[in-house]
Structure 1
């Protein structure tokens, strides 16, 4: 099972850098923030979650502590080696087919903004393929003006600074975004491709694969709960 090299993605800083530009050591340091609380409030207690793109377990571990069962998927073996207490699966999300379904499927980390529309559809089809008929998909999308309100920065309570340095046009409606993470003892950067999606475009992308929005879970509408548009329906793979 090969690892997909992500064109246009790169990173700098100490330690291993994954093919999509993520630094493994950085992601072991980043706090979970409010994400586990958002998830816990949106799904049944004790649900079995499929977490797509789990990274080093930043959100996985707090969800396990809250009593959820988690199957954690990532294309980076180095990231998965940091995950404890969950079943782990080493695979690109686009190729994943576990032959089973889950109460909850999570697609976080703004993965829905993949620069290639075909990749985005493949990611969402993986969500549908693993979704129980009465289950839900939790998706994290970019905030309003995320690509235009740059540069910007915030200082995390944990003592590091996050800067969105730039978002430069890369063609076909895609931007090349550079972020920097500055800790007292180290600095990492990550450059990645991202396709901005309006609310209408986002909901249209869900509809393409047979999903519909149930609710926007946060005031900034960055976290979304979706379900099958037709209960029990299946989505056919493209020819």
Structure 2
């Protein structure tokens, strides 16, 4: 079947939402939860990092703590307004980014590689290829393909500050490609937000093929869950 056309992204809740449905206030209030601690060996002091889709700087600020020099890119000026002045902030779409320099590490987090549109997935990796130094590497985070294919409605995670639940879920085949449309609800104190988005589950072979197409070597898994990968430009 082919899904009826509908927006890929939407969001609700206190404060403003970006064009892809992310709530600025939710990201502003979110706390770093060790997302890149296991990658610290790739971010040694002095490493130049291009953080693609940096949002309010959750990872960029930790990279500063590691001693890295950080350039953060986001297409939301409201998000960037909350990023430290110690980060070089660039207001731009990732897929159109054209900076004059190259970086030791290009970071593509948050499952951006799972974007529902193939042209955007390719554009993201092409941007990474344009900006990674010959000796450098791309580090990316993907969504868990098995989870996207099997997730169910209900609670997803809970901490002392934030609870997340799957509020809506639909799976379909769009132009021959499986697609997952999901709405997450975030609860923090008395406030609630929703974020609706569409993603494609990507197996490791599909990720590797995408990277090869844009001039990268085979990706290497950086964690046991196999959600973080590193790939070097092909020489």
Answer yes or no: same fold by TM over 0.5: yes
Q: Is the 8 A contact 1:140 1:223 kept in 2?
A: yes
Q: Return the offset for 1:66.
A: 1.7
| 3-state SS, counterpart of residue 63 of structure 2 | helix
Moved over 6 A (4+): none
State the TM-score, normalized to the length of structure 1.
0.89
Q: Is the 8 A contact 1:150 1:165 kept in 2?
A: no
Distance in 1 between residues matched to 2:201 and 2:219, nearest whole Å: 21
Distance in 1 between residues matched to 2:217 and 2:225, nearest whole Å: 19
Structure 2 unaligned segments of length 5 or more: list them.
1-5
The reply on whether 1:53 has 2:53 as its aligned counterpart is: yes
1:99-178 matches, within 5 Å, as 99-147=100-148, 148-172=150-174, 173-178=178-183
Match of 1:226 in 2: 231
Q: Is the 8 A contact 1:11 1:21 kept in 2?
A: yes
Q: Is the 8 A contact 2:139 2:229 kept in 1?
A: yes
Q: Return the offset for 1:155.
A: 4.1
Match of 1:94 in 2: 95
Q: How many residues align?
A: 225
Match of 2:41 in 1: 41
Q: Return the offset for 1:106.
A: 0.4
Q: Return the offset for 1:206.
A: 1.1
The reply on whether 1:204 has 2:205 as its aligned counterpart is: no
Distance in 1 between residues matched to 2:218 and 2:44, nearest whole Å: 18
Q: Return the offset for 1:164.
A: 2.6
Distance in 2 between residues matched to 1:155 and 1:111, nearest whole Å: 20
Structure 1 unaligned segments of length 5 or more: list them.
1-5, 232-239
Match of 2:3 in 1: none
Q: Return the offset for 1:54.
A: 0.1
| 3-state SS, counterpart of residue 71 of structure 2 | strand
| 3-state SS, counterpart of residue 182 of structure 1 | strand
State the TM-score, normalized to the length of structure 2.
0.90
Q: Return the offset for 1:214.
A: 4.3
Q: Return the offset for 1:101.
A: 0.2
RMSD: 1.7
* Partner deviation per Cα, 1:50-84 (whole Å, 9 max, x = no partner): 00000001111111122111000000000000000
1:57-72 matches, within 5 Å, as 57-72=57-72
Distance in 2 between residues matched to 1:212 and 1:35, nearest whole Å: 25
Distance in 1 between residues matched to 2:38 and 2:129, nearest whole Å: 21
| 3-state SS, counterpart of residue 31 of structure 2 | coil
Match of 2:81 in 1: 81
